[in-house]
Chain A
Amino acid sequence: MSGSIQDTFFEECEDLLEAMDEGLTAIEGGEHDQEVVNAIFRAVHSIKGGAGAFGLDELVGFAHKFETVFDELRSGKLEFDAALIQLLLRSSDHLADLVATARDGGTTDEAHHDVLIEALAKYIPEEEEDLTFEPMGLGGAMAPMPLIEDTTERAYEIRFQPLKDMYGTGNEPFFLFQALSELGELSVRLNESELPGFDAFDADESYLAWDLTLVSNEPRSAIEAVFEFVEGLCELTIESEADEAEDTDALAALNAAFGTDPDASGDAAPAAPFEEPAPAPEAVVSAPVEEKASPPKAETAKAGPKPTLRVDLERVDRLINAVGELIINHSMLAQQIANLDAGDVREVETELEGFKNLARDIQEGVMSIRAQPVKPLFQRMARIVREASSATGKTAKLVTEGEATEVDKTVIERLSDPLTHILRNAVDHGIEKPEDRAAAGKSNAGEIRLTASHRSGSVCIEIRDDGAGVNRPRVKQIAIDKGLIPENAELTDNEIDNLLFLPGFSTAKEISNLSGRGVGMDVVKNAVTGLGGRINISSTPGKGSTFTIILPLTLAVMDGMVVSVADQTMVVPITSIVETMRGSDEMINNLGADGTLLSIRGNFVPICDVADALGLRQHYDQPPGVYLLVETETGQRSALAVDDIYDQRQVVIKSLDGVCGNIPGVAAATILGDGKIAMILDPESILAASPSAAGFDTDRRISNAIAS
């Protein structure tokens, strides 16, 4: 078997498992539509079929049981009930595990496997159990030519008399004889003794019979295999000196297997229809097959109802890189034209503008190839909630919204772990036990709402639970106990909630076997910031908590503001900038030794000098000219002081991973129009590294506390 075919099988399995999950979710939601059941049946059936081709026996066995239950359901012999739906959901999870194991190696939980098999078997009536696909008994397609049997050469006398029904099935005696002739030396004699006179001839009847002699060292099962498709559609006797005795038994078994009794239909008077391609009597069949004349046909493989193309991801990424270069190229061209001493360049600039729009169109088009709906990711999350609920003895249901929202493939892949973690946490720490919920006047089943939406150039993922909310006094106490914050720290509610993201923070009193595996929410935060995103939590005691993740649409290109900092050109992501303004002296207020505040419409925000924070300038003599008002994930506003703003443009993100280590304040780099490299700044970490803004920034204060 070719490895690539097996690869596509596993790819297809992903789609099928997804379809199955989707169907089961609909069924769980009370939609017991026949077509939904059929779709699940087909998905499981296809997994079984493919798995069989690759000899994945455990997968086949389980899929078969699963499928059989669905067969019962779709034939109406079995009805859905809550227990069965739960079993089906767990079985679908297990099926996904089996597929993963078959693909990646490793083992699955055998005890769990057996429990599920047994539970499924309870829904399968005894007689259906036999409806397996074991190879057929006599001369089945599975074993056309067993070689172990007796191989002495002998002469078989075969009498073959088609019943008229055979001709309706497309079986041609000629081809059967040709197949027989490959087993040995065959002679064919047409027996037309039963052909009636012309007056009595019925064109629809079958009158002809053949007597064949085959000298072969193949066992009789090989001959029976040739006649497999016409069993029950003909009268067939195979005799040889050696196994005469077995004949009748075998044939009886054959007929029994097909529920056809040759004697019952044997009274049909044999005759030949006109179109019968009678082979030359007495001839040894060895003539080459005549090709059928067929009209010229259309090209191969017409596309399905909704044509799709599967492309190597690498090719798409190459394209994305090329488009990135194109955008850089455009900036360079624009720059050089601007530098030209060539009089009127307006027309060139108009064309250049068109070039820019086209480049952006291409870029968006390429990006949309990488964009995928979050639906499969969300569907997997339903399972996480299910498992977490059963592990904690709580009842929680995942409701998803905005599944069609499309996000970059890499973002989706790398969101899986953080989402899993947040959802486990939500069940483990957020949702209360059923009795506590009842006492609080809530419904027994907790609800976790997972929402995706597009929000002005970013993607917003929200996880909202209706649990108890963050227990703020306890969270604060833990943070103090662990030395994460000073004992006398005054924190707002929002700041307390965000303590959860600190490294080394875990609220679980004892490590539960679910979410508390020593991995804290800080890992979640790192994963999200690693994607260029932000995460925030808000919580209402008694009502629940909401995690909000804001992510860039793409990881390749972003809109940036090109600024000047200490004679260097840098880029600040537009998404983090709330407002820009030119400063004046009366807006600056000194605070303490080196703290400065910017007064904006009566509010004060701390100023962070970017040059200072990056160590490019120790202290400035004159206040920088421009302030970029940025908002951190905690809602804290700060003003980033830069020297000037040059431009706002799309820049191609070039990762610094593997080029140099992590530089505080710098997220990545880009190439500008003049060919120079500019750093893309990360406002969050600049603020964290800035001493001047520290006094007002909780995050900063907290990280100082950790550092000390």
Chain B
Amino acid sequence: MKTKVLAIDDSRTIRNLLAAALEEAGFEYHCAVDGRDGVDMYGDVAPDVVITDINMPNLDGFGVIEELRGTDINSKVPILVLTTESAPELKARARAAGATGWITKPFDDQSLIFALKRVTGAAA
């Protein structure tokens, strides 16, 4: 069975890039167009790993992490934060909310897969 990735990003370009890289690498790719959409889809998709943007309308990335990790959903799956900011405080904030790791935009396919491997063990 393929590893299922739920990608949450409001940018169509980033979603396309993720889809291309992940499908190429053999992941099963699902996407949501903003934070609220992502949290809503979580139950249906039941992903093995979540990749989320930070700056999004209708619930930002921190909100996504908090809701997924919150008592209602109580998700244990790895959550990778996708953001152009690699500033330490943003990472610290994401981590405090329960993020597993991060991917810095712009990303190349290799670093994306490498990040996924470190949190899911899966290369695909």
A, B assembled together: yes
Residues of chain A touching chain B, judged by Cβ–Cβ distance below 8 Å, are 1-2, 5, 8-9, 11-12, 38-39, 41-42, 45-46, 48-50, 52-55, 131, 133-136, 140-145, 168-172, 174-176, 178-179, 225-226, 228-229, 232-233, 257-259, 289, 291-292, 294-295, 297-298, 300-302, 304-305
For A165, give the chain B residue with the smallest CB separation: B95
For B44, give its contact among A46, A50, A297 (CB under 8 Å).
A297
- A133 CA to B103 CA in the complex, in Å? 11
- A169 CA to B111 CA in the complex, in Å? 20
Q: Is the CB of B117 within 8 A of A178?
A: yes
In this complex, how many residues of chain B approach chain A with their Cβ under 8 Å: the count is: 61
Q: Is the CB of B117 within 8 A of A292?
A: no
Output the residue of A12, A48, A297 with the most chain B CB within 10 A.
Answer: A297
Chain A nearest Cβ from B49, distance in angstroms? 9
**Known contacts being A42-B57, A133-B104, is A179 close to B120, with CB within 8 Å?**
no
For B106, give its contact among A5, A49, A302 (CB under 8 Å).
A49
- A52 CA to B83 CA in the complex, in Å? 11
For A41, give its contact among B44, B55, B103, B114 (CB under 8 Å).
B55
Q: Using a CB-CB cutoff of 8 Å, which residues 92-124 of chain B contact chain A?
A: 92, 95, 98-107, 110-111, 114-115, 117-122
- A232 CA to B91 CA in the complex, in Å? 11
- A170 CA to B1 CA in the complex, in Å? 21
**Count of A-B contacts judged by CB separation below 8 Å:** 167
**Which residues on the A side are within 8 Å of B117 (C-beta)?**
175, 178-179
**Which residues on the A side are within 8 Å of B58 (C-beta)?**
305
For B118, give its contact among A135, A175, A291 (CB under 8 Å).
A175
For A41, give the chain B residue with the smallest CB separation: B55
Q: Is the CB of A8 within 8 A of B99?
A: no
**Which residues on the B side are within 8 Å of A257 (C-beta)?**
88
Q: Is the CB of A292 within 8 A of B10?
A: no
Known: A133-B85, A229-B118. 11 other contacts (CB 8 A): A53-B105, A53-B106, A135-B86, A135-B104, A144-B110, A145-B114, A175-B118, A175-B119, A229-B119, A297-B44, A304-B34
**Which residues on the A side are within 8 Å of B10 (C-beta)?**
42, 46
Q: Is the CB of A170 within 8 A of B114?
A: no
For A291, give its contact among B1, B20, B55, B69 (CB under 8 Å).
B1
Chain A nearest Cβ from B10, distance in angstroms? 7
Q: What are the 4 A-B residue pairs with the smallest beta carbon separation, nearest first? A: A229-B101, A52-B106, A50-B13, A304-B33
Q: Is the CB of A133 within 8 A of B13?
A: no
**Which residues on the A side are within 8 Å of B91 (C-beta)?**
258
Q: Is the CB of B14 within 8 A of A53?
A: yes
For A259, give its contact among B3, B4, B31, B88 (CB under 8 Å).
B88
- A38 CA to B44 CA in the complex, in Å? 30
Chain A nearest Cβ from B102, distance in angstroms? 7
- Between-chain CB contacts (< 8 Å), 14 pairs: A5-B16, A8-B13, A11-B12, A12-B12, A45-B55, A50-B11, A145-B110, A169-B100, A178-B121, A179-B114, A226-B118, A259-B88, A295-B46, A302-B32
Chain B nearest Cβ from A224, distance in angstroms? 12
For A16, give the chain B residue with the smallest CB separation: B11
- A5 CA to B119 CA in the complex, in Å? 27
Q: Is the CB of B4 within 8 A of A170?
A: no
- A295 CA to B115 CA in the complex, in Å? 25
- A5 CA to B84 CA in the complex, in Å? 19
Q: Is the CB of A300 within 8 A of B46?
A: no
Q: Using a CB-CB cutoff of 8 Å, which residues 1-52 of chain B contact chain A?
A: 1, 3-4, 10-14, 16-17, 20, 29-34, 37, 40-41, 44-46, 48
Q: Is the CB of B45 within 8 A of A298?
A: yes
Chain A nearest Cβ from B58, distance in angstroms? 7
**Which residues on the A side are within 8 Å of B41 (C-beta)?**
302
- A577 CA to B8 CA in the complex, in Å? 56
Q: Is the CB of B92 within 8 A of A134?
A: no
Q: Is the CB of A229 within 8 A of B100?
A: yes
For A287, give the chain B residue with the smallest CB separation: B121
**Which residues on the A side are within 8 Å of B98 (C-beta)?**
168-170
Q: Is B63 close to A, CB under 8 A?
A: no
For B30, give the chain A residue with the smallest CB separation: A300
Q: Is the CB of A49 within 8 A of B100?
A: no
**Which residues on the A side are within 8 Å of B69 (C-beta)?**
168
- A49 CA to B57 CA in the complex, in Å? 16
Chain A nearest Cβ from B26, distance in angstroms? 13
**Which residues on the A side are within 8 Å of B103 (C-beta)?**
141
For A46, give the chain B residue with the smallest CB separation: B11
- A528 CA to B46 CA in the complex, in Å? 55
- A375 CA to B67 CA in the complex, in Å? 37
Q: Is the CB of A171 within 8 A of B100?
A: yes
Q: Is B64 close to A, CB under 8 A?
A: no
**Which residues on the A side are within 8 Å of B29 (C-beta)?**
300
**Which residues on the B side are within 8 Å of A176 (C-beta)?**
118
Output the residue of A55, A170, A174, A304 with the most chain B CB within 10 A.
Answer: A170
**Which residues on the A side are within 8 Å of B92 (C-beta)?**
258-259
- A315 CA to B57 CA in the complex, in Å? 32
**Known contacts being A39-B57, A142-B111, A170-B79, is A50 close to B119, with CB within 8 Å?**
no
Q: Is the CB of B76 within 8 A of A170?
A: yes
- A433 CA to B77 CA in the complex, in Å? 65
- A298 CA to B48 CA in the complex, in Å? 15
**Which residues on the B side are within 8 Å of A172 (C-beta)?**
78, 119, 121
Q: Is the CB of B118 within 8 A of A179?
A: yes
